[in-house]
Chains A and B, each alone.
Chain A
Amino acid sequence: MKQIEVKEASFAYMQDDDANRIALNGVSLEIEQGDYIAILGPNGSGKSTLAKLLNNIELPTKGDVFVFGINTKNEDGFWDIRSKCACVFQNPDNQIVGTTVEEDIAFGPENLGIPNPELRQIVDASMKYVGLEKYATKQTANLSGGQKQKLAIAGALAMNPSIIIMDESTSMLDPNSRDEVLTLVEKLRHEKQITVITITHDMYEASRCDRVYVMYHGEIKKVGKPSSIFLERDKMLELGLDCPSHINLAHRIAKITHSKLTQEDLVSEETCAKRIIEMVKNAEFDDVKSYLKPDKNIQEVEPSKTIMQIENLSYSYDGDFKAIEDVSLDVREGEILAIIGQSGCGKTTLITHLNALIRPQEGSVTLICSNMNLSTAEKKHIKLLRQEVGLVFQYPEYQLFEETVYKDVAFGIKKMKLEPEEERRRVLEAIKLVGLKEDILEGSPFELSGGQKRRVALAGVLVMRPKVLVLDEPASGLDPRGRQGMLRIIESLKATGVTIILVSHYMDEVAEYADRICCMKDGKVIMLGSSTEIFEDIDKVEQMGIKVSRLNMFMRLMLKYNSSINPNVRSVEDAVRQLINTKGVELC
């Protein structure tokens, strides 16, 4: 008997206007006890709906779902299925019921009617397994994002499940927490033989699974081992997905060396590294320039073009703990400056200073282009400042409120009392900058997709024509295509001369685009320099507790086979150059 069997299952969400939205269309799959499965697909492809069918939260409108041999339509088996098939969802806040850690973990087994002292034992054991025993009676609201997701896993574990479904559970976490959660889930699978089904946008996570299902428009388009799925890169791109960076590198090298990759080459990072080395070794690079793509145009802007100066800035919310301490930083005209650091390193506190949402307690922030000191500026000037320094917070789609997209975008310039034509011109300009079409302007912002909402929110800031644009994790939670789109917008904004401050906890995301990088830790700037300088010293960055990109990790792995490689690369294209370099080919 298969643990999970889905037979030709379809599901449609009921909608007001009778035209039901089909989320799943004739999906079939089989999963065995102990499998490690990834479900990939762009947003809206039906992944989460599939998870809801497995967990018996929804019933298929057509077809059948069997879990442990029980049809989910069979009401007698209802609770058996739910209790044995646990879910960890995306948003850490929206799945915590309990006020304290132990009360929350107990929620599931309490519902199952497990009596004390057994209940206490289960709660303590689960708490210990995920490493939260120190926080037993602490408030759940005060945990970090990563701790909250571990709590959710402990809550699932307390129900002694045979299956755990991770529904984009790592997408809102910083890289350290993400890796911790990933390790925890893999440990569960090895030690407790729990089936793990992970729904993810992270291709690297998928590459660690036994089997991958690729969904698109409610259908399963591809099934197979990660090595065979990622072998067809073009197909993945067509489906709005991508490959892990090391596999992208392998594909690039295969292309320029006219070699062929096989499934065996992609089985693990090791095999992939060996194959890349082999391909480079056997190739002759006679006409290098023709197949090298130009690198992103990154360069260090000269210090004389400083547009914003931050000097010895410190800030404390409670007068005791310093959220940022003695931060000095210059922002130069037209550059992309990345600010990198783990959650809680003070990034958000720093950027809220930049448009005077909070005023400096110690030190100063000066906007040089309009000669304004943010510590002393008057209120009416601050309003002008907020037009010049646009601040886009994380998940900006949550700030939309107007009836139409037009009104929402125009909100920022309403008080300027512009001529209607001028106002319209600026709204159109902003909408175009974020890659949206004019025809959405009269519709409600709430009917757009998640990615579109985020673009509208961004347009709502761009409409003020800021000189400096601060973006806090602009791509977080987006699928690969949405992510690419967002990065393209940033590039095109840079081309129009806007100075961009990009805040992220992922080195992967900023490495390719940033001209300069500022690394923060515990409220302090620990390193600041051009992208090239930072990457030359990436080991030091890592020692400071900032995760290097996965591509960097992979390049280090390759060092084992060819010690002349420079592993400190910013992008796949950069890695290609480094590899060709090892052959002593002149690159201009």
Chain B
Amino acid sequence: MLKDISLGRYYSGNSIFHELDPRIKVVMFFTYMVTIFTVNKWQAMVLFSVITIAQIVIAKLPLKVIISSIMPVVPIALFIALLNMLTIREGRTLFEWNIIVITLGGTRKAILMASRLILLIISTSVLLTLTTTPLKLSDALEKLFAPLKVIKMPVHEMAMMMSIALRFIPTLVEETDRIMKAQVSRGADYDTGTIIARTKGYITVIIPLFISAFKRAEELATAMDARCYRGGEGRTKLNPLHLTSKDWIIGAILLVLAALVLVLQVINV
């Protein structure tokens, strides 16, 4: 159940996407994010979907992994879709009952919004979270934002914080699961009752979780101290990032594909 959240869950493998320089991946992730939010024509959406599916295949990611990474956002996507369907009144009316009016325009918008969100999550998973280890990801962000050091931005510290946060997600998720089971064993109930009662019920999880997270943070800080961590100054890297010509070529291809989607959006077919 809770364990299936894929955020920060790296799926080890040896595809082109796994080996691609994370900086390229981060830049492409932003490009694709902008693209998906710009697009609203079905032709462009279809092309985008095809590209995404091709990416999944090339990244050699099993369907099961992809599905489990989408599952957590499905309720949100459905909710957004429903909201759009019920509130937007454009074009032909498809269905009418009491105050509920469903229009063709609203339905279109609903499908668009839901598929955008799903595609965004898949694209993020393939380009970033599933194929990139959190440490590589934070390396990439550190390098990409390095110019901001000039204006005294603690770029290294932020990257480190991020990678630690990602590293601890599975640990804390397991912990949440454990605490919930313990509380349910002594009568807590998270499934029935009013929304207020249920929200209150979660206090029994949140407080122990926070206390344990603080304890972990303290112990981790001591452990990092003991291993001579002293900020980014003078640190070396086991796997330093190297941009090879292969990285540039794949980056260029990904860019051209995104551009194609945008072209489809702009021209009248």
Contact = CB atoms under 8 A, between A and B. Distances in A.
Interface of A: 52, 55, 57, 79, 82-83, 86-87, 89, 91, 93-100, 102-103, 106-116, 119-120, 123, 137-141, 155-156, 159, 352, 355, 357, 379, 383, 386-387, 390-393, 396, 398-401, 411-415, 446, 460-461, 464
29 contacts: A82-B226, A82-B228, A86-B227, A89-B222, A97-B220, A98-B135, A99-B135, A100-B12, A103-B133, A113-B235, A116-B237, A116-B240, A119-B238, A120-B238, A123-B238, A137-B12, A139-B12, A155-B227, A159-B227, A387-B187, A392-B185, A398-B182, A399-B179, A399-B183, A401-B207, A411-B188, A411-B204, A461-B185, A461-B186
Given A123-B238, A399-B182, A399-B208, A464 B187 contact: yes
B190 interface: no
Interface in B95-142: 133-135
A108 B166 CA distance: 19
A155 B238 CA distance: 13
A393 B238 contact: no
B167 interface: yes
A115 B235 CA distance: 9
A394 B242 CA distance: 46
B79 interface: no
Contacts of A415: 187
B231 to A, nearest CB: 9
Contact of B167 (A120, A140, A392, A393): A140
B216 to A, nearest CB: 5
B267 interface: no
B167 A110 contact: no
A100 B181 CA distance: 29
B185 A391 contact: yes
A352 B227 contact: no
B170 interface: yes
Majority secondary structure, A binding face = helix
A393 B228 contact: no
Nearest to A82: B228
Interface residues of B, number: 50
Contacts of A91: 216, 219
B98 to A, nearest CB: 34
B228 A79 contact: yes
Contacts of A400: 208
A500 to B, nearest CB: 16
Contact of B135 (A95, A103, A119): A103
A398 B208 contact: yes
A83 B166 CA distance: 27
Given A111-B235, A398-B212, A446-B211, A411 B187 contact: yes
Contact of B219 (A86, A95, A110, A352): A95
Identify the interface centre among B12, B204, B216, B238: most chain A CB within 10 Å of its CB.
Answer: B238
A89 B201 CA distance: 34
7 nearest A-B residue pairs (beta carbon): A106-B238, A95-B223, A94-B219, A401-B207, A412-B186, A141-B170, A399-B182
A196 B219 CA distance: 21
B177 to A, nearest CB: 10
A352 B181 contact: yes
A357 B178 CA distance: 11
A514 B244 CA distance: 64
A89 B223 contact: yes
Given A83-B228, A383-B187, A391-B185, 18 more contacts: A89-B219, A91-B216, A95-B219, A95-B223, A96-B167, A98-B135, A103-B133, A107-B224, A110-B236, A119-B238, A140-B167, A141-B170, A159-B228, A352-B181, A386-B184, A393-B182, A399-B179, A399-B186
A557 B178 CA distance: 42
B195 interface: no
B187 A99 contact: no
Contacts of A115: 236
A401 B208 contact: yes
B163 interface: yes
B248 interface: no
A97 B228 contact: no
A94 B192 CA distance: 35
Nearest to A108: B227
B5 interface: no
Contacts of A110: 235-238
A196 to B, nearest CB: 16
Given A159-B228, A399-B179, A460-B186, A116 B236 contact: yes
Contacts of B164: 97
B238 to A, nearest CB: 4
Nearest to A57: B225
Contacts of B207: 401
A108 to B, nearest CB: 4
Contacts of A138: 12
Contact of A396 (B12, B182, B239): B182
B196 interface: no
Contacts of B182: 391, 393, 396, 398-399
B186 A99 contact: no
A446 B208 CA distance: 10
Contacts of B175: 398
B187 A141 contact: no
A414 B167 CA distance: 38
B66 to A, nearest CB: 16
A357 B219 contact: no
A71 B133 CA distance: 40
B69 to A, nearest CB: 15
Given A99-B10, A137-B12, A401-B207, A119 B236 contact: yes
B30 interface: no
B227 A401 contact: no
A56 to B, nearest CB: 9
Contact of A57 (B134, B204, B208, B222): B222
Contacts of B222: 52, 57, 89
B123 to A, nearest CB: 22
A386 B134 contact: no
Interface string B142-180: 000000000000000000000110110011000100110
Contacts of A116: 236-238, 240
B226 A87 contact: yes
